[in-house]
Every structure is written in C-alpha cells, then in structure tokens.
Amino acid sequence: MAKHSKPLIESVHPLRRRGFLKLAGAMMGAPAIPAAVRFAVNEQLIGEAKAFEEAGNLPTYFVEINLRDQWDFMHVFVPPGLATHTGLMRGGSGDQCTLFYGPEQLSQHPGNFYLTPDSAALAPHLDDIAVCELFEICTGAIHGHEAVNAMRSPGRSKQSGPGKAAVWENEPGYTEQGNDYYYSSSPTPASLHNYYQKQLSSGLRNGVTLKYISRAHSICHYGAGLADAELTRIQSVDLLFQTFPDTVEDLNVLPTPEEAQLLSTVMERVDERFFDRYGFAGSARTRHATNLAEAAGLWHTGEVKIVSMPLNDEERAYWGEGVPDQVGDNKKANIWEQAAWAYKLLSNDVTRTVALEFDYLDVHETRGQDVMNKMGLQCALPLARLIESFKAAGMWERTTIAIFSADGGRAPSANSYGNSGKNTLVLAGGNVKGGYFGDIGVAGDSGSGHSYNYRVPDPVTGNPMGPVTDNSNRLNGAHAWRTVMKALEIPDEIISPYPDVAGTQPLGFMLNNV
C-alpha cells in the first residue's frame, strides 16, 4: 500500500471516526471478503486510527458545571454514614440533618452510592460517576463564599506574588459581594481545556461560559496568561443565540463526498496484483468491487441537519421534565436549558468546552425540604440527561463533566455555611471510575440535632481515613484539579509548569485512565 504524509483517518471528522471504523469493520466482515483482504484493509485503517489516537490527537469534550450558593448535594449523593444511621434527626434548622428521606426511601448501589428519589435517574450511570465531598474548605470572607475554589485553581490566594495574577479581571460586573478577590498561577479547568483543544484543532470555535447566575455573584474563569485560553463570556440568552446562529452540519457518517471516497480508496488498493499474488479467483475480485459499490452510498447521503440553539418543544420536554425552575426574580436561564445548549454545542463539535453557571439564591440558617428537593432535582436530572445524550451520540468515552460546589458546600447541619463541612466535586465521564469516596457520619447529639464527623479518603487508596469533627485533614484542591485534568487527557507537559500542583498526583481511584 502507498505511503501518505498523514494518516487517512485524519480526514474523518473526530466525532465520526469510531462510526467510520465500525462501518468498515462490518463491511469487511462479510463472508464474501477473503481473510487476506480483510487483514490488508484493517491494517491500513485501524492501524492508522490507533496510531492517531495514541499520539494524543483525538479531541475531548468538557462540561464544567459551577453551582452556587454553597450547594448542598445531600439529596443527590447521600454519604453512607448518614444513609445508614438509625435515629437521624432530620430538619431544616439548627444542627438537624438536611436529609429528608428515610432509609426505606433510599436506594443502595455498588460503589458506596445511596440515591434519593430526587437522584434516582442517575442509577444507570453510576459506574461513570465519582464523588468526593471532602476537599479543602473555601476561604471567602462571607462565610466561605468565593468565585474560585481551590479545586478549580489550586494555590489561589488573596495576596499577589511571583507568578500569581488576578483571577477576576475578565469577569463582567465583578464586585466584592460574595466573590472576593483572589490571585493564582494555575488556570481554571475549562480555560485550560479550551486552550489545549485549540492547540489540537486550528480554527476551533472558542469555548464559552454561560454566566447565568441570578445574583451579583459570579464564577471566575482564569486562563493564567495562556494565549487563546480565556472563555467567551455569554451574559444573556440572546447573546448566546447571536454568538451561535443556526448553522448547517453534515448528518452523514463522513461529512463530505471527498471523504466518502476514503474507505473506497483504501480498499481499492487491494488491487488486481494483490488478488493475483494470493491466488484468488476472479469471483473474489468481483465480489469485492460489488461490496464497495453497495456500501458507497452509506458513507455520504447528502442529507443535512440544522444545529439550532433555540430549543424546540420536544427538546424542552426532554431536558426540562421534572427540573424546578431557577429560583428568584432575576431568572436568566434554567440549569436544564444550559445543559441542553451545552450538549448541542459539543455534540456538533462547534466547540469542545462549555461552562455552566447556576445558583439557588442565598439560603441561610434554614434549609427545608423544599430547598433540598429543588437542589437535588436541579443537579441530578440535567446530569443524567447529559450522560444519556452523550452516550447516545457515541461520544461519552471522550467526554468529561465536572460539577463543583464553586463557593463551598455545607455541613449536614441545616444552619451551616461553606466555610465548614463539605466541598464537593462530582466527576463523570468515560475516563471516570465510579464511586462515592470518603464518608460523613454522626459524631454525637447536640441540643438541636447532631454533631458530625468527616472521613477523608486516602489520596492513594481512596479508603476513608479516621474521622475528624473539624475542617482538618481535607484533600488538597490540587488533587481535584489534577484528577480533572487527567480525565480530560491534558498532557503532563502542559500541566507541569504550574507550581501550585507540582508533585501532586491525580486521585487514581476516581479514574480509569491512570
């Protein structure tokens, strides 16, 4: 076979390469195709595809979901120690526990998962979801509120210094209220992923962040000075539709008629001399040519589809069913709408990085059942539908979703804030190994409920360590950052220059690709 300056498989759209190879494999598996012919074609196509992938050239797709105000995931992933505790005092005030479902209403699953009725839709996908709620606590001046989080930019500090720059400068309308001013040297995940994907694919549209938090609070996205890393800030739904007007994308396995000739070209290289060399009869050559002709029409039919950002009735029904609306008077976009738009952009390879920003107003002193039900459904249902949709599109193996309680979480006590208790990362994707890691339990009773303990996972094994009742011994945010980067397949040579993560390893127990 003739040699080429670049792999033939590179001409196939990244999202379609797997389908292309499956089609080629199915056709070449036909009984009429001699074994030697199958070997020759597979050697050319599959060998090139493997080499191309091993070179790190395949894209990855990233949805970063940032939830404020000090989000409580209690009704999404129940810590085993609380799920199994008998006599739990539940309620929305004091030190009562904000778990409003009893043991008989929870479902237990492998990997230490306990789901509530609000999160039951996630059950089919738990093999690809990892949860750890015990990363280092947020340090914002207003009971922990901050727009950065050590998991998203390790080493962030309120003091500038060598190599540290302001993380807030590209955020529109940024104010002190609930945000604080931090400096850092390490880029936030979506910004670094945007940078790397644009290095892989020249001409790729810039990644976006949907700035749809209802309050003056914000989320900081920080490119750390990398060229082309900064995300496009989308501040309204109208601006989203203006930024991504209706475009036409190919529906075909191969997007152009020229690329549809690729498979035929490769197969035609198994020419007359090949058949003669191995002594095949003329009938084998005829069958080979017939199969080529019959398959050619499957690779490019000329059909097209419209990638339209506004959601139609069917899409609104699918993404929005059962998901409570954004709370408050200044509603910008529901979380399910943001998830639907992210899926449209990524599944059509318009861009590869989308960050969502969403909040549940500001809950202090009491967190009743209505609050917890809404938070649970607003998190669990969009996540389940994103996973389901990416799987159906055949791109789940190359997709990662990271959900951050951006300005900290809560202790199990109803009257708690982001400067104590939990700080949660939910990681999902094809490179993710499922499990709930660490644990939270009851340490004793108090006058208004319970005191609680925290068992941080060992950073090597993932096994829960000894219980503590304060904020000590939490996992360094650099572990979370490195774990997200590893799931996204960002090379070590891009990560290693950042001093805030130097010497810190990804949490291998949360990943399949370590």
Read off the pLDDT of residues 70-124 as tens digits, 9 standing for 90 and up.
999 999 999 999 999 999 999 999 999 999 999 999 999 999 999 999 999 999 9
Please state the three-class secondary structure of 308-347 as a single string.
CCCCCHHHHHHHHCCCCCCCCCCCCCCHHHHHHHHHHHHH
Q: What residues have CB less than 8 Å from 228, skipping those under 6 apart?
A: 194, 195, 198, 206
Which range (28-32, 119-123, 306-310, 506-510) has the least confidence?
Answer: 28-32
Instruction: Inform me whether the pLDDT recorded for 4 exceeds 50.
Output: no
Identify the band that residue 388 occupies on the pLDDT scale cut at 50, 70 and 90: very high
Instruction: Inform me whether the pLDDT recorded for 253 exceeds 80.
Output: no
Q: Which two tokens stand for residue 463?
A: 């096994």
Is the separation of the CB atoms in 218 and 193 below 8 Å? no
Whole-number Å distance between alpha carbons of 200 and 352: 11
Which range (67-76, 362-371, 373-382, 414-423) has the least confidence?
Answer: 362-371
Q: Which residue has the higher pLDDT, 308 or 57?
A: 308
User: Can you tell me the mean pLDDT for 442-448?
Assistant: 95
Which range (143-147, 368-372, 374-378) has the least confidence?
Answer: 143-147
Return the ∠ at Cα 27 (arms to 26 and 33), rounded to 5°. 120
Identify the band that residue 450 occupies on the pLDDT scale cut at 50, 70 and 90: very high
What's residue 5's pLDDT?
46
Please give the model's pTM, rounded to 2 decimal places. Answer: 0.83
User: Can you tell me the mean pLDDT for 457-468?
Assistant: 98
Which strand (E) or helix (H) includes residue 47?
Answer: helix 35-54
What's residue 323's pLDDT?
98
User: Can you tell me the mean pLDDT for 476-495?
Assistant: 97
Chain mean pLDDT for the chain: 87
Which range (58-62, 180-184, 257-261) has the least confidence?
Answer: 257-261
Identify the band that residue 177 occupies on the pLDDT scale cut at 50, 70 and 90: confident
Contacts of range 384-391, beta carbons closer than 8 Å, 24 or more positions apart: 384/121, 384/122, 384/125, 385/121, 385/318, 385/319, 385/336, 385/339, 386/63, 386/339, 386/342, 386/343, 387/125, 387/128, 387/428, 388/125, 389/343, 389/347, 390/61, 390/343, 390/346, 390/347
End-to-end CA distance of the chain: 36
Q: Which two tokens stand for residue 344?
A: 């449209």
User: Can you tell me the mean pLDDT for 218-241?
Assistant: 96
Question: How many CB atoms within 10 Å of residue 93?
Answer: 15
Is the separation of the CB atoms in 322 and 176 below 8 Å? no
What's residue 175's pLDDT?
84
What's residue 191's pLDDT?
98
Query: Comparing C-alpha atoms, which of 73, 23, 67 is closest to residue 46?
Result: 23
Instruction: Inform me whether the pLDDT recorded for 242 exceeds 90.
Output: yes
Instruction: Inform me whether the pLDDT recorded for 62 exceeds 60.
Output: yes
Instruction: Inform me whether the pLDDT recorded for 1 exceeds 50.
Output: no
Q: What are phi and psi of 36, to 5 degrees?
A: -65, -35
What's residue 355's pLDDT?
98
- pLDDT (tens digit per residue) in 8-56: 555 555 555 555 555 555 555 555 555 655 566 566 555 655 555 555 5
Identify the band that residue 206 occupies on the pLDDT scale cut at 50, 70 and 90: very high
User: Can you tell me the mean pLDDT for 235-239?
Assistant: 97
What's residue 176's pLDDT?
75
Identify the band that residue 3 occupies on the pLDDT scale cut at 50, 70 and 90: very low
Identify the band that residue 216 occupies on the pLDDT scale cut at 50, 70 and 90: confident
User: Can you tell me the mean pLDDT for 178-201?
Assistant: 95
What's residue 504's pLDDT?
96
